[in-house]
């Protein structure tokens, strides 16, 4: 959703009159948003691990604004560990999905967007009624990529909290598989876990494809 909002702002979020275009300086926003994606995931994880540390940058910046965190361990508390981890993953990946959506939106004929504007469609209506139906296949692809990332996320979790977090708050399946194989030496069990994880991933992809085909079929039936 965040990537779609950014992509819409960059492509059709400009002035409501004249040619359909994005916000002023949209090329700059595109580069800035995509930049985290080109950084290796392990580098991002280690960097944010240092930022979240009790004596790290985050607590230091909050202290400058008069917020005394008492050297709060963002990755060491059950209440914040998963939220802080999710923020890092979103920050690093949103640029990729934004570029994916921008490329799809650029493929929509400009006449279609201009006709919607002439008919009085606002920016929100343009996104929901014009952009989304036109880039449905790209949204489907994004969902599958996102699901695979959510089921894996091994590199981020290892770099941010290699112990699995407080009470295993941030422990993911791939991380538990790694522990089983290389810490406990149970390679047979780890192999079985890998197979199950692969099957779950395939099932997730099949469900996403099936749901989008069902939605597409309903839309086509309504238009006919």
Band of the pLDDT at 224, cuts 50, 70, 90? Answer: very low
- In this structure, what DSSP letter does residue 172 have? -
**pLDDT, tens digit, 9 for 90 and up, residues 10-20:** 888 776 666 66
Provide the domain count of the chain: 1
* Distances 123 to 15, 127, 136, 144, 173 between C-alpha atoms, Å: 10, 6, 18, 27, 40
70 pLDDT above the threshold of 50 = yes
- The CA-based dihedral angle spanning residues 173, 156, 85, 26, taken in that order and rounded to the nearest 10 degrees: -130
Residue 210, domain CATH: 1.10.3720.10
Flag whether pLDDT at 89 surpasses 50. yes
CA distances to 48, 49, 90, 93 from 27, rounded to whole Å, are 26, 30, 21, 18
Span 105-136, pLDDT tens digits: 888 888 888 888 788 777 788 888 888 888 98
Residue span of the structural domain in which 142 resides = 2-223
Long-range CB contacts for residues 212-216, cutoff 8 Å, separation at least 24: 212/136, 212/137, 212/139, 212/140, 212/143, 215/136, 216/136
Q: What is the DSSP letter of 129?
A: I
CA distances from 35 to 52, 61, 137, 149 (A): 21, 23, 25, 19
User: How many C-beta atoms lie closer than 10 Å to residue 4's C-beta?
Assistant: 21
């Amino acid at each position: 959703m965040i990537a779609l909002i950014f992509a819409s702002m960059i492509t059709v979020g400009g002035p409501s009159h004249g040619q359909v275009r994005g916000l002023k300086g949209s090329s700059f926003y595109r580069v800035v948003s995509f930049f985290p994606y080109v950084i290796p995931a392990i580098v991002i994880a280690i960097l944010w691990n240092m930022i979240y540390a009790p004596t790290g940058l985050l607590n230091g910046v909050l202290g400058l604004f008069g917020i005394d965190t008492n050297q709060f361990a963002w990755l060491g508390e059950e209440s914040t560990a998963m939220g802080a981890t999710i923020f890092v993953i979103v920050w690093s990946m949103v640029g990729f999905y934004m570029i994916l959506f921008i490329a799809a939106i650029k493929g929509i004929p400009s006449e279609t967007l201009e006709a919607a504007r002439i008919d009085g469609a606002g920016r929100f209506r343009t996104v929901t009624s014009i952009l989304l139906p036109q880039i449905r296949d790209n949204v489907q692809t994004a969902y599958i990529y996102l699901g695979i990332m959510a089921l894996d996320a091994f590199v981020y979790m290892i770099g941010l909290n290699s112990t699995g977090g407080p009470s295993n708050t941030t422990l993911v399946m791939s991380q538990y598989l790694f522990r089983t194989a290389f810490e406990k030496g149970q390679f047979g069990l780890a192999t079985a876990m890998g197979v199950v994880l692969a099957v779950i991933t395939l099932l997730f992809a099949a469900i996403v494809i099936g749901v989008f085909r069902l939605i597409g079929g309903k839309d086509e039936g309504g238009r006919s």
